Chain A
Amino acid sequence: MELKIVVIVRQTPDTEAKIQANASGNGIETSDIKWILNPFDEFAVEEAVQIKEATGAELIVLTVGPDRSVEALRTALAMGGDSSIHIKDESFGEMDSYALAKVIASKIKAMGDVDLIFAGKKWIDEESGQVAIQVAEELAIPQATLATRVAVDEGAKKVKVQSEIEGGQRIVEMTFPALITCERGLNEPRYASLPGIMKAKKKPLEEVLIDSIDLEETGLTQDGLGSAGSRIKVDSIDIPVIKRSLNIIKGEKADTVQADEIQKASENLAKLLREEAKIL
């Protein structure tokens, strides 16, 4: 039987996006933001596509988020995914990782026979990779995070993963089903080609309203969805403004310090760091 792979993806603001608090002060202003597929999810999708190409696996991409999140699914489909699942949640942001992991795990559990789950090592908006790991826990399956190499043994239903760990790296072997989060360096994600993008629009997209998900049905405790099922909440978002002293040493005649002024400029900077900043 062919392998079944799920990739959990997320739509995030572009890395160059400026972040502003919204009017209520506990979310971000989204009107001017350019949205992208979370950069680390690209490694996850690419790895899954390569396994699909080698083994004929079935590849499903899944996301939770508002309407606009479908674009992240389309990008993943254009890279080579077969079908997609969009768990629609317009109130996205209210749910913490605990609640979100239950929703995702519940959907994956209902799919039955999933062998491998991939995700990016972190979401660059939440600055955390905790949801994928919590999904692994809800499904009671092993995980390997920060993967830099993945080798699948389809026949034995095992996967070897090389991971970054504190102070080095290690290789672990897991039995299917297993979850892997992907670090940069694992592969070189392909660009979504134009024909790929055209084809993606015709690939199956299953839309699920988040309120229709019944956690009890898949054996996960139902605390409720949204903020009711969450354990933490965002009180406020602030944009840090750190006042910088902008003490720039420039040249006597030009903006740029000239060769004969380098020595003095270096002495000055070292002195400022020692005496004023008290950092050296």
Chain B
Amino acid sequence: MSEIWVLVDTSQDKVRNVTFEVLTAATKLKEKNGATVAAVYVGDNGAGIEGELAKYGADKVYKIENPSLKDFNPSLYSHVISEAIKKHNPEIVLAGNTLQNQDFLPRVASRTSAGLTLDAVDVDISSSSTLQVKRYRYSGKSISTISYHDTKPMIATIRPNAFKPAETAGAGEVINETAEVPSSDNFTILQTKIIPKERPELTEADKIVSGGRGMGDGDSFKLIYDIADSVGAGAGASRAAVDSGFVPYEMQVGQTGKVVSPNLYIAVGISGSVQHYAGMGSSKVIVAINKDPDAPIFQKCDYGICGDLFEVLPALTEEFKKLA
């Protein structure tokens, strides 16, 4: 029977939430084409992960374990996944749109002569029985429907938050795969530094509060962090705030920063340029706080307060805390 694969993302040996979202996407496809959903783990220690994967619909769990797969090496990971693909011939391969998957799945696509789309927000089976996905292009400015030619496998990554994880029992049958891992003499990892994050990653956050030029300086971002922390939100910024040196680039939301789609996006002191909206326009609910009644953001939001952010933020933070 044909298989839909879901590549497993882990963090400290625990399955990441995005994998359950992708399993839910795979289950949607399974209902159309009757395929088997198989989760595929690559790494050095996948002990016991099958329980959770089965809870979200994994019929099978392939484990490709090897000590030399402990650290992510794009060439080695693409080698072992491509070999497994050639052996089992899955029809569709899905994965979360994480940095790691964006890094090595293009190599897998070339190696297996496969079609690849990154950052899909929806998946379906087309009338000609091939994979069809929707994805944004030109950041949030356009959404494309893309279909695959009839070649296997068809590979896609899924944007975090695009699917809500839904529990559905799968058999979770474990299949241990042995992998021959070639030596890697042209690529050596010298140092890895995990930087603990105080707030959720923007690309995966359920809520985000962003500050713009209206914040005036970097110190004022404390107001953004306070309100973000009151509801467990990520903290972002507009390009103007980053260019002015208020906060680092990693916080930038927009066409040349991070493209995000949280359930709640609060834009504070952000006028709402085309390039900023392109990076957050697919958010479910957009809230604007700005003292300029003519700011373009007020034409593209669900709720807003037209007022001085330095007065509004402390008051709103207190209200949010009451709801928590």
Say whether A and B bind each other.
yes
Interface membership of A118, Cβ < 8 A: no
- C-alpha spacing A131/B151, complex, angstroms: 19
Interface centre among A172, A258, A261 (most CB of B within 10 A): A172
A216 to chain B, nearest CB (A): 15
B305→A19 contact, CB < 8 A: no
| A274 CB contacts on chain B under 8 angstroms | 323
Q: Which residue of chain B lies nearest to A38 when distances are taken between CB atoms in the complex? A: B256
B49 in contact (CB, < 8 A): no
Encoded as 1 (CB less than 8 Å from any A CB) or 0, chain B from 151 to 164 comes to: 10010000000000
A130, A168, A169 pick with most chain B CB within 10 angstroms = A130
* B47 CB-CB contact with A under 8 Å: no
Asked whether any CB of chain B lies closer than 8 Å to the CB of A208, the reply is no
Considering residues B106, B132, B255, B256, which has the most beta carbons from chain A within 10 angstroms of its beta carbon?
Answer: B106
Q: Is B178 an interface residue (CB 8 A)?
A: no
Interface residues of B in 285-324 (CB under 8 A from A): 285-288, 291, 293, 298-308, 311-312, 315-316, 318-320, 322-323
A242 at the interface (CB under 8 A from B): yes
Residues of A within 8 A of B140 (CB): 240
B320 in contact with A265 (CB, 8 Å): no
Chain A residues with CB below 8 A from B315, complex form: 262-263, 265-266
CB distance from B87 to the nearest CB of A (A): 19
> Please, which residues of chain A bring their CB within 8 A of the CB of B187?
142, 172-175
Residue from B118, B282, B284, B323 within 8 A of A270 (CB atoms): B323
- Does chain B have a CB within 8 A of A255? yes
Q: Check B264 against A231 for contact (C-beta < 8 Å).
A: no
Cβ of A250: which chain B residues have Cβ within 8 Å of it? 293, 306
Interface assignment of B107: CB less than 8 Å from any CB of chain A: yes
Interface centre among B154, B197, B319 (most CB of A within 10 A): B319
Output the least CB separation between A65 and chain B (Å): 16
Cβ-neighbour of B138 out of A101, A125, A234 (below 8 A): A125
Shortest A46–chain B CB gap in Å is: 15
Contacts of A237 in B (CB 8 A): 137, 142-145
Known: A145-B103, A256-B308. A248 touches B303 (CB 8 A): yes
A231 near B259: Cβ-Cβ < 8 Å: no
Q: Which residues of chain A are near B293, meaning CB under 8 Å?
A: 250, 255-256
B275 within 8 A of A: yes
Find the B residue at minimum CB distance from A131. Answer: B106
Which residues of chain B in 11-46 are interfacial with respect to chain A, using CB atoms and an 8 Å cutoff? 11
What residues of chain A lie closer than 8 Å to B1, measured between beta carbons?
Answer: none
* Closest CB in chain A relative to B274 CB, distance in Å: 5
CB of B147 within 8 A of CB of A233, answer yes
> Quick one: CB contact mask for A254-276 with B, threshold 8 Å, 1 for yes?
01111101110111011011100
A97 touches B138 (CB 8 A): no
| A185 nearest CB neighbor, chain B only | B249
A198 contacts chain B at the CB level, 8 A cutoff? no
Query: A226: CB under 8 A from chain B?
Result: no
Does A253 count as interface, using CB distance less than 8 angstroms? no
Query: Does A172 lie within 8 Å of B139, measured CB to CB?
Result: no
The verdict on A280 contacting B195 (CB below 8 Å), with A28-B138, A239-B141 known, is: no
- Specify which chain B residues have a CB less than 8 angstroms from the CB of A172 in the assembled complex: 187-190
Least distance between B91 CB and chain A CB atoms (Å)? 14
Bitwise, A22-59 to B at CB < 8 A (1) or not (0) is: 00000010000000000110000000000000000000
Contact residue among B11, B255, B274 (Cβ-Cβ distance under 8 Å from A124): B255
B185 lies within 8 A of chain A by Cβ: yes
Contact of A280 among B141, B151, B186, B323 (CB under 8 A): B323
In the complex, what residues of A have CB within 8 A of residue B316's CB?
266, 269-270
> What is the CB-to-nearest-CB distance from A107 to chain B, in angstroms, rounded to a whole number?
16
Q: CA of A272 to CA of B304 in the docked complex: distance in angstroms?
A: 10
Contact with A along B186-209 (1 / 0, CB 8 A): 111111111101000100000100
Report the separation of the CA atoms of residues A246 and B305 in the bound assembly, to the nearest whole angstrom.
Answer: 11
Give 23 CB contacts A-B under 8 Å: A15-B256, A16-B274, A17-B274, A98-B110, A129-B106, A133-B107, A165-B72, A167-B195, A167-B201, A184-B256, A232-B147, A233-B149, A235-B147, A238-B143, A250-B293, A250-B306, A257-B307, A258-B307, A267-B319, A270-B320, A273-B303, A280-B264, A280-B323
**5 shortest interchain CB distances as A-B pairs:** A231-B115, A257-B307, A255-B293, A270-B319, A133-B106
